[in-house]
Amino acid sequence: MSRYERIAGLETHIELSTRTKIFCGCTTAFGGQPNTHCCPVCTGQPGALPRLNREVVKLAVQAGLATGCTIHRESRMDRKHYHYPDLPRAYQITQYDTPLCTQGQITLSNGRIIRIDRIHIEEDAGKSIHQEGRVLVDYNRSGVPLIEVVTAPDFRSAEEMREYLEILQRLMRAIGVSDCRMQEGSLRCDVNLSVRQVESDAMPTRTEIKNMNSFSNMVKAVNYEWERQIALLEQGEPVVQETRRYDESTHTTQPMRDKENSRDYRYFREPDLTAVIITDEEIAAWRAALPELPEARMARYIRSGLPSADAELLVKFRRVAEYFDEVSVGVSPRTAANFVLGPVFARMTDADKEEGTFPLPAEHLRELTALVEGGRLSKNLAKTTLERMMDEGKRVTDLLSAEDMAGVDDATLQAICQQVVENDPKSVADYQGGKEKAMRSLIGGVMRATRGKADPQQAEQMLREMLSI
Ligand code: ZN
Ligand code: MN
């Protein structure tokens, strides 16, 4: 059997988080009673004229800047025709040969660069709902602004595609361009797939899988489709260029039954809209308004001493990163990260992280972290206190006395260690006889004697020195 190279490119549609639609003043809010967020413009009534929402241009340019794209000072809108009940004008207003942004890129953790060919703006269609043999249409989504991010065919595995989407999602959330919720359809992907024999430079035939709505389905669909194409080539059969869909019940891809495959979109310029012109001043202002990007933030955390896995968890949600920045002012990021990623995260769902709902204020966690850092509170006592702070909504100073927070000074700790050693000759003999476990019980003795205030690591160090032969 020959060896094959698996090739893929992604087209990602992302709903922009503007308050109003791209060509009218209707709300973009998700949900609502069917056909209540509409007007003559977004339902395509004769004579209704579109007017471009400038906020859409701003967010699309910011998405382009965050992915290193060239931003074009002049671009145009085009009509793309197809006949579907969810598209009332029978054409979509999009950008064809003059996209707003081109030539960006995203770098994966394996060092491979995924080229972004273009980012353009367009309108979303309505939603068809198939019910008891009838098709109902809800136009609330019609006219919601989208960007379409198109990559070059640079992917070589489904895992690379998943990572790219995670980075893209994180980036778009961080700059506030979109909430990128796959389950609500505010991030949707089409995948182009082909295979070719290794070391062949033939242009392989590709198929397209439309509307992947979860990472896990995308990975399954992509792997199934690549293997299907390889099996065909192995049998000497051609791969047919077509659009397919993923069937969740059979875990296979199936050809779409409509005429999608031989479609002629008859693109032409949208005569009802003028060119999109952007000034250098606008680009400069929009760039200046961008927050610190996740990659830069992650690099900053790693430089400050955090393991990269921890840094990655902290930048996944912008609100979490902002919270962490507040907690770690003036204290070691490592201690702060241990609290945030451990006990604080244990009480949070992904939705909490996205919305920034934390079990305690950053200020309160910083107070606790500073006490630990100053050696005034043992890690053990800090942990149980943190749980109580979250349960009772109190500050550390409400829960602990001055005495509790005084810590244990070196001389006192030394004296207590001495006492514990004298009172427990059996553990001492065991330890000196090579039983490591005995050290645990000696440390336990010190912790009991100090009511948890001693730092167990410091106690261990003192005990080991005391008992070294
Ligand atoms: Zn409208
Ligand atoms: Mn599109």
- Cα 21 to averaged position of ligand 1 atoms, centre (Å): 7
Q: Which ligand is nearest to the CA of 92?
A: 2
User: Considering Cα of 286, then 121, then 22, then 210, what sign does the dihedral take?
Assistant: negative
Q: Which ligand is nearest to the CA of 13?
A: 2
- Cα 73 to averaged position of ligand 2 atoms, centre (Å): 21
- Cα 397 to averaged position of ligand 2 atoms, centre (Å): 56
- Cα 122 to averaged position of ligand 2 atoms, centre (Å): 7
- Cα 249 to averaged position of ligand 1 atoms, centre (Å): 36
Q: Which ligand is nearest to the CA of 42?
A: 1
Q: Where does residue 246 rank: exposed (0-12), middle (13-18), buried (19+ CB within 10 A)?
A: buried
- Cα 83 to averaged position of ligand 2 atoms, centre (Å): 15
Q: Which ligand is nearest to the CA of 148?
A: 2
Residue carrying structure tokens 């640079």: 154
DSSP string of 237-299, one letter each residue: PPPPP-EEEEETTTTEEEE-SSGGGG-----EE-TTS--EE--HHHHHHHHHT----HHHHHH
- Cα 50 to averaged position of ligand 2 atoms, centre (Å): 18
What's residue 331's pLDDT?
87
What's residue 405's pLDDT?
64
- Cα 34 to averaged position of ligand 1 atoms, centre (Å): 13
* DSSP for residue 157: S
- Cα 47 to averaged position of ligand 2 atoms, centre (Å): 25
- Cα 13 to averaged position of ligand 2 atoms, centre (Å): 6
What's residue 330's pLDDT?
86
Q: Which ligand is nearest to the CA of 11?
A: 2
**Range 213-216, long-range pairs (CB < 8 A, 24+ positions):** 213/182, 213/183, 213/185, 213/188, 214/182, 214/183, 215/162, 215/165, 215/166, 215/182
Q: Which ligand is nearest to the CA of 15?
A: 2
Q: What is the pLDDT along the chain (469 residues), one digit of tens a residue?
A: 568 899 999 999 999 999 999 999 999 998 889 999 999 999 999 999 999 999 999 999 999 999 999 999 999 999 999 888 899 999 999 999 999 999 999 999 889 999 999 999 999 999 988 888 898 999 999 999 999 999 999 999 999 999 999 999 989 998 999 988 888 888 999 999 999 888 777 778 889 998 887 888 899 999 999 999 999 988 888 888 888 888 888 888 888 866 555 568 899 999 999 999 999 999 999 999 998 888 889 999 999 999 999 999 999 888 999 999 999 988 888 999 999 999 999 999 988 998 899 999 999 999 889 888 877 777 778 888 899 999 998 888 888 776 666 667 777 888 888 888 998 889 999 998 888 888 988 988 888 887 777 777 888 888 998 888 7
- Cα 174 to averaged position of ligand 2 atoms, centre (Å): 23
Q: What is the pTM of this model?
A: 0.76
3-state helix vs strand vs coil in the chain, percent to 5: 40, 20, 40
Q: Which ligand is nearest to the CA of 124?
A: 2
What whole-number distance in Å separates Cα of residue 404 and Cα of residue 183? 48
What whole-number distance in Å separates Cα of residue 442 and Cα of residue 423? 10
Of residues 337, 282, 331, the one with CA closest to residue 315: 337
- 412, amino acid identity: T
Dump pLDDT digits (tens) for 259-289.
Answer: 555 568 899 999 999 999 999 999 999 999 9
Q: Which ligand is nearest to the CA of 50?
A: 1
- Cα 11 to averaged position of ligand 2 atoms, centre (Å): 8
- Cα 38 to averaged position of ligand 1 atoms, centre (Å): 4
What's residue 255's pLDDT?
85
Token pair recorded at residue 183: 């389950």
Task: For 7, list phi and psi in degrees, rounded to 5.
Answer: -125, 140
Q: Which ligand is nearest to the CA of 189?
A: 2
